[in-house]
Homo-oligomer: A and B are copies of this chain.
Amino acid sequence: MARKESDHAVTMRDVAEDAGVSVKTVSNVVNNYQFVSARTRDKVMASIDKLGYTLNVTARNLRTGHTGIIGLAVPDLVMPYFAQLSSLVIEEAKKLGMRVIVEPTLYSREGELEALHGAQQAMLDGLIFSPLELGQDDVAELDVDYPLVLIGERIFTDTVDHVATENVEGAKRATKYLLQTGCRRLAVVGTHPGEQVGSAALRLQGYREALEEMGVPYDERLVVPSKMWHRDDGLHAMNMLLDSGVVPDGVVALNDMLASGVMHSIQLHGFRVPDDISVIGFDNSDDSQYLTPSLTTIAPGLEAVARLSVRVLRDRIDGVSPFGAPEGTSVFRKVSSTLVVRNSTRPIPDGGLRL
């Protein structure tokens, strides 16, 4: 029995009556309206305490037309990346006095469309959406009646506000760093052959750009695809590579889970990380520092993603132009990533890069 018996909930009317003022005055007190005399305020406060009044948020919502709840549509809550992102978004929203309903889209196109179209029904003030299945062809679906902020780099359109992470730049930085530590035969694990948009393609692109800039030839045999990005997949992919007799001196894993599996495979094959083969990951997941050796990785700046997306959304909800964007323009922000150096890579040799 968790329900108390309080037949008739206390309303502003009750408080008003008890304090001998009008209902609107109670409302004014509750909302910290500036022109309320100290004496009236005290009287009302006393009555509120006495009667145990709490504001009926639903009634306010109806009157004001918004709820203070935003939606967050992500593929899944269990993947560390999205769990972390959700956590940060909730935290940031709380700072701004908003609450969050997380809608898992379950890696399905259907789920993503449902989140997109159901938001209005769902009394959400706005939606932060991290698409995975929806792509460039679905731009039309994004033309919704409520404030919407996109996260990621899958869809590009200048009609929707957008917070992106540095996929290309991050992978490029990772690859360059390995090259600077002296690696010359760099494998990349987790690619999605044929993919155009999406993290795998973008990260591969970063890898290639880095090679090119550093004048290291691109070698197809060092590119190991893997549809999924679990630890397991990294293990298998790396096994395949090593078993086929190709031994790189470094591996760029397209995320940390893959990196974990890759390191495991390397060790099973009797090589040492980083002495024989360096490994770098992507995401800076919570686990990465607990691996053995701890994993050098790219931190995508999730805090910034969370902070920016929530703020932009809040501004749209309030009818304010975020970051002073001109009327009718959408906002695009790319969050910079950082390199987190740990023990799965060798130090950069004294005297810096030697070609």
Contact = CB atoms under 8 A, between A and B. Distances in A.
Given A67-B58, A78-B80, A232-B290, A145 B87 contact: no
Interface stretch (A94-102, A197-205, A246-254): A94-102
A16 interface: no
Interface in A116-157: 120-123, 126, 142-149
Contacts of A330: 1-2
A335 B32 CA distance: 47
A196 interface: no
A160 interface: yes
A61 B57 CA distance: 10
A142 B90 CA distance: 24
A292 B235 CA distance: 10
B286 A78 contact: yes
A91 B54 CA distance: 31
A50 interface: no
Contacts of A169: none
A235 B122 CA distance: 46
B146 A3 contact: yes
A41 interface: no
Nearest to A76: B87
A264 interface: yes
A123 B6 CA distance: 17
A121 B54 contact: yes
Contacts of A145: 3-4, 6
A108 interface: no
A292 B6 CA distance: 57
Contact of A78 (B62, B83, B160): B83
A340 interface: no
A287 interface: yes
Nearest to A161: B2
Contacts of A194: none
Given A58-B61, A261-B290, 9 more contacts: A1-B328, A1-B330, A3-B316, A54-B120, A57-B122, A57-B123, A58-B58, A58-B62, A235-B292
Interface of A: 1-4, 6, 54-59, 61-62, 67, 69, 76-78, 80, 83-84, 86-87, 90-91, 99-104, 120-123, 126, 142-149, 159-161, 230-232, 235, 261, 264, 268, 286-287, 290, 292, 316, 328-330
19 contacts: A2-B147, A3-B147, A4-B143, A4-B145, A56-B62, A57-B122, A58-B61, A58-B123, A61-B123, A69-B101, A76-B87, A77-B86, A86-B102, A91-B104, A99-B101, A99-B122, A100-B101, A100-B102, A230-B290
